[in-house]
Structure 1
Amino acid sequence: MEYVFDVFFEESFLVMERSGLKSRSGRRDVIDHLNAVISGCVQGRETASVQLAVSLAVKSAIDYHRKMKSDNFAICMMGKYHNVLYIAVRIAWDWSLEDSEVIGCLLEEIYACEKTFERIFLGALFGSTAPHFIAGWKSDFNDQDENLRALVFFLHHAGRNKSCFPSYSYAYHDILPKKFIDIPIESCGKAAPLRVAIQASAPDILMILLRHGADPNPDDGGASPIISILDKLLDYENRAYPYQLISCLELLLRCNAMVELPYKPHLFHARREMFEIKYAVLLADKVIPPNQFFGVPPLKAICRCHVRNQLRNCFQLPRGINKLLVPRKIKKYLDLLD
């Protein structure tokens, strides 16, 4: 079966123009053809054989990319030779591939060339058409809902595989391993996906990212996400704060027991005074919970953040919550659902 897929890529790409996979329609033609080959290989067989066939198809796409890259002095030739990886992305999604190790290899292969995963994230954040205006390509998924479900699919497998990728750390000024969900998006100013979701005022997407272990304070060189939201809320002079922004703020506050005050290196009392002056309106409107900024937060909030941090460090969000021997209500609380 492996030979069939190797031949498929070799023969198909031999006669294809270099720009043959640049358009979404071109990629879909190859995807449809490959899906037909997979269906023919597994017709009448058990589910395990289906998973094996899809796994071999994805591996063959990765191997073809590696071979072409190796023949070009370890430099990706781009064009159809790189887009073959996005054929594999769609195939893995179409057939609900369960092999996290293979998907981890696919993500590593993409990152080695692009140093970003924006083609997986942008469609979920902005819809299928927006990436064309932002980054010059069209999503391989039909609409924002399908993009979002595909993103969750890859978040799930990246967590199971404990996938990390070398990325610059602004906190340590060095290249350090960073989780798939926190890798900056190049075409969005190298901001982390969580920060982009906040900038887009998308609490539903922010919720998905936080539940799957996104760092609520991403190390991407930007300001504190919570402080950024407070600054945006100050722009509404009529105090008619948009529901989406308030929802984003509430979600982030669930993941931060205490919020560090800005204005370092001033002493705490000076920082507090400066904070209270600048955000007096938000404090008066009870948008800001004082205990989380300069008081004592509830013990249950501290415990939730501590447990979530431990699970996040072990790549166990959100699935690890269900393994805890605690009442269901506490599980919902830990999972940001309550």
Structure 2
Amino acid sequence: MKKNLLPKASALALSLLLLGGCAKNKDIEPSITNIAVTNSDFQLLEDAAIRGGVAITLGNKNPNAADGNYTVFAPTNAAFNRLGIKEAVDFTALQGDFLTNTLLYHVYSGTLAGDALATNSTSPSALGPTRRIIQRADGSRYVNGSKILGTDVKAANGLIHPIDKVLIATGGNVVESAQALAGAKVFANPELTLLVAAVVKCNLAGLLSQPGPYTVFAPSDQAFITAGYPSVTFINNLSPADVAKLTNVLANHVLAGTNANKFTPELPDGTSVATFGGGSLQLGAFTNGILTVKSRNITTPATMVIPDVQCTNGVVHVIDKVLLP
């Protein structure tokens, strides 16, 4: 998988250059929406923009910017594929408001050129929350946890910077974000229902709603089921001793201090990190934008299912195993 990443990125860059060249030859500069429509690498972005109601907006000048421009961090088809979205119909798995807000999180009002994407710089999005630029030791640049595959693809109404993962921001804190997933406000089907039940049962909702910041590894519902917590009812009926045990388990999923509020490119991959509960986790190698996480009492590492979810008090990475201390 890693071997194919560079050729794909190169092919994307070439196709965008060719598109730009064709536009110049015809003396026509396409809008951001036109580029999404005419470039096959952005087919799913086009589908998302239509369904999310922003296609017309990004096809016109920006009335709120002096230069009339937008800058878009544009997820490729492969970026949407990572969320399980392979074709237009798959967007029905996402709630409409969430899709619209997600698209707005990719947009900057005005011109944000590639040379302005300096390490640790931030920029506001059309949704509101800011995004952070990260540079790794190998020189690769990321916006939050998404690799920047290219910069400064020119459109009549702004610029496009292609990226390899969809940016996600919830607009709520860690607890509110988990509750939104559990309440089917993000996906059409509820998720993280067991995590929310566990956090409430263990009286941790207040703590995880505080400013923090935190980095949270959030086990999926299936992860809790596999770990022996089969239902909300089961969790609600735990004995005091079992609640204490579950509290210790949950504390093993939270990083604070030095490793708080970290997107995947910023996490110290290949090292051991201390948890909020006093335990430790082993982080795997940073590969294709994600890394594995292993605790002492699981045999195989957990994999990130949905990494880099920005919350108001930290970053959440949804994982496929419970990290038993």
Q: TM-score, normalised by structure 2?
A: 0.32
Which structure has the greater CA radius of gyration?
1
Higher relative contact order (CA 8 A, sep 6+): 2
Which structure has the highest helix share of the two?
1
TM-score, with normalisation over the residues of structure 1? 0.31
